[in-house]
């Protein structure tokens, strides 16, 4: 037997959508890349599983909306490379009170938008109701990404470009240095560059590198609601995605996608959850109150009267939130050959092609394609509190 290869140009830890896109860009640039994943793939223990995610250009923060043309282009490129459909255009409605600062910023982020009042909205999209005085801003280029399929596709192209993906292999420790040594449950690997994209595990994981990142894993209820009249919210009818901004009954926001993955069931979720440890995600007593479900039921009876008000299916996912809900995309403050991508705060999937490109550029010591000020580790005080 040939001895197992142990030296690479770059090692990436975590094969969710962010680590997989990072590895894809590195392999396309002819870097000999090892992508390590603790679980056997595919798995549903992290943040990238499930069949659907929203992609939209409407963003309150212009530093994300500016990335969206590049994201759409790179998603299309991946579709072409794999001959797979990964995106379905459905449009997206941003619902809220007119004048609400984030809603107005979303309007500005769209070159061309359309604003519908309550009457115009229910004429155009009969499933939706607004409260008096509220509006809906239409982002017509938005839609749904087929998430599981996308993750498979990006990993397939990574491998096709010569990348090595080793799943079922958990990283146990990292030894920093000019050459970084990574010890897993199955081997020891070395590379001059390391990228950590370990999702909800990142906070605890980087403590061994003297970093205290303010990352909070949240357990998210992914809820599907039955259409009272089958077919009314599916792709066959005119049914867009939506998200809310500035509603007093749901300050964190609520979002929804048309019935795609399960016929007759529309996905409507609270953009919030309860703090958790990713290793204990499912260990919740059955008596635990579910405030998210109450918020969603009340929203559905007012805004989506064509849906039943108790969820028909519930699944689980994880967010990893930063205090400002902006990502962390940066080099380790002490070990510049270690790059960290984390804190995607429940909105990172659509942006993964650009996140991967930026992490690749940071790792190779290149000038990043976008302004990185909002993603710097040092925006949080005391991160090196436990520095070695």
Ligand X SMILES: O=C(O)[C@@H]1CCCC=N1
Query: What residues make contact with ligand FAD under the rule CB under 6 A?
Result: 13-19, 36-39, 45-48, 53-54, 170-171, 197-201, 205, 220, 222, 269, 317-319, 344, 346-350
Residue 47 binding target from ligand FAD, ligand X, none, CB below 5 to 8 Å by type:
ligand FAD
Query: Residue 347's CB: how many other CB atoms inside 10 A?
Result: 19
Distance in Å, CB of 140 to ligand X, minimum: 15
Q: 362 with 330: CB under 8 angstroms?
A: yes
- From residue 215 to residue 254, the character string flagging contacts with ligand X as x (rule: CB under 6 A) and all else as - is ----------------------------x---------x-
Q: Residue with CB nearest ligand FAD?
A: 16
Q: How far apart are CA 157 and CA 258, in angstroms?
A: 29
Q: What are phi and psi of 241, to 5 degrees?
A: -75, 165
Which does residue 271 bind out of ligand X, ligand FAD, none, counting CB within 5 to 8 angstroms by kind?
Answer: ligand X
Smallest gap from residue 371 Cβ to ligand X (A): 20
Cβ-based neighbour number of residue 95 at 10 Å = 27
Q: Give dist(CA 21, CA 15) in Å, integer.
A: 9
37 binds, among ligand X, ligand FAD, none (CB under 5 to 8 A by kind): ligand FAD
Least distance to ligand X, CB of residue 80, Å: 24
Q: How far is the CB of 271 from ligand X (least distance, A)?
A: 4
Nearer to ligand FAD, 13 or 121 (CB): 13
DSSP state of 36: E
Q: Cα–Cα distance between 124 and 137 in angstroms, integer? A: 13
Contacts with 311 (C-beta within 8 Å, 6 or more apart), sequence order: 221, 223, 224, 225, 293, 296
- 8 Å CB contact between 358 and 214: no
CB of 193 to ligand X, least distance (A): 29
Residue nearest to ligand X (CB): 347
Neighbours of 324 (CB within 10 A): 12
Please state the closest distance from residue 53 (CB atom) to ligand X, in A: 7
Q: Which of 161, 75, 120, 90 is nearest to 349 (CA)?
A: 75
C-beta of residue 137 within 8 angstroms of C-beta of residue 93:
yes
Give whichever of 54 and 196 is closer to ligand X, judged by the CB atom: 54
Q: Which is closer to ligand X, CB of 255 or CB of 335?
A: 255
Contacts of 363-372 with C-beta under 8 Å, sequence gap 24+, read 363/10, 363/22, 363/26, 363/193, 363/195, 363/337, 363/339, 364/29, 364/31, 364/193, 369/70, 370/63, 370/66, 370/67, 371/63, 372/329, 372/330
Nearest residue (CB) to ligand FAD, 27 versus 269: 269
Nearer to ligand FAD, 53 or 357 (CB): 53
Taking CB under 6 A as the rule, does residue 54 contact ligand X? yes
Closest distance between ligand FAD and the C-beta of residue 81, in Å? Answer: 20
Among positions 31, 49, 56, 357, the unique one binding ligand X when judged by CB under 6 A: 56
* Residue 91 binds to ligand X (criterion: CB under 6 A): no
How far apart, in Å, do the first and last CA atoms of the chain sit? 40
- Considering only 219, 271, 281, 332, the residue that binds ligand X (CB under 6 A) is 271
Structure tokens at 121: 């909205």
Pick the binder of ligand X from 255, 303, 327, 375 (CB under 6 A): 255
Task: Give yes or no for residue 50 binding ligand X (CB under 6 A).
Answer: no
Nearest CB to ligand X, comparing residues 189 and 349: 349
Helix residue ranges, H only, 35-134: 62-65, 68-82, 101-109, 118-124
- Window 299-358: residues binding ligand X (CB under 6 A): 346-347
Nearer to ligand X, 199 or 346 (CB): 346
Least separation, in Å, of the C-beta of 311 and ligand FAD? 13
Cβ at position 265, least distance to ligand FAD in Å: 15
Q: What are phi and psi of 35, to 5 degrees?
A: -110, 120
Contact residues for ligand X, defined by CB under 6 A: 54, 56, 243, 253, 255, 271, 346-347
């Amino acid at each position: 037997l040939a001895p197992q290869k142990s030296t690479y140009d770059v090692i990436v830890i975590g094969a969710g959508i962010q680590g997989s896109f990072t590895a894809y860009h590195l392999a396309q640039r002819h870097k000999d890349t090892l992508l390590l994943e603790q679980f056997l793939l595919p798995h549903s223990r992290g943040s990238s599983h499930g069949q659907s995610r929203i992609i939209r250009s409407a963003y309150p923060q212009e530093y994300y909306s500016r990335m969206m043309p590049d994201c759409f282009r790179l998603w299309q490129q991946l579709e072409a490379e794999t001959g797979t459909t990964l995106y379905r255009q459905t449009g997206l409605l941003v619902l809220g009170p007119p004048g609400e600062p984030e809603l107005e910023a979303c309007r500005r982020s769209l070159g061309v938008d359309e604003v519908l009042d309550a009457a115009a909205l229910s004429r155009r999209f009969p499933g939706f109701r607004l409260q008096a005085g509220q509006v809906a801003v239409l982002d017509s280029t938005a839609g749904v990404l087929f998430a599981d399929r996308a993750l498979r596709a990006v990993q397939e192209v990574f491998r096709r470009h010569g990348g090595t993906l080793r799943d079922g292999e958990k990283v146990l420790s990292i030894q920093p240095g000019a050459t970084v040594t990574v010890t897993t449950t199955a081997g020891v690997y070395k590379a001059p560059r390391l990228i950590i994209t370990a999702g909800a595990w990142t906070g605890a994981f980087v403590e061994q590198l003297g970093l205290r990142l303010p990352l909070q894993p949240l357990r998210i209820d992914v809820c599907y609601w039955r259409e009272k009249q089958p077919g009314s919210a599916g792709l066959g009818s005119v049914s867009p995605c939506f998200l809310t901004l500035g509603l007093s009954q749901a300050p964190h926001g609520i979002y929804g996608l048309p019935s795609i993955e399960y016929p007759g069931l529309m996905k409507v979720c609270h953009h919030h959850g309860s703090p958790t440890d990713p290793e204990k995600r499912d260990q919740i007593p059955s008596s635990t109150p579910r405030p998210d479900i109450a918020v969603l039921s009340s929203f559905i009876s007012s805004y989506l009267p064509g849906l039943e008000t108790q969820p028909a299916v519930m699944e689980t996912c994880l967010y990893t939130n930063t205090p400002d809900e902006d990502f962390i995309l940066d080099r380790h403050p002490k070990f510049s050959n270690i790059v960290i991508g984390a804190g995607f705060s429940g909105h990172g999937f659509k942006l993964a092609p650009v996140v991967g490109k930026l992490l690749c550029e940071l790792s190779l010591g290149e000038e990043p394609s976008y302004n990185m000020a909002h993603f710097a580790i040092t925006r949080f005080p005391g991160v090196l509190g436990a520095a070695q």
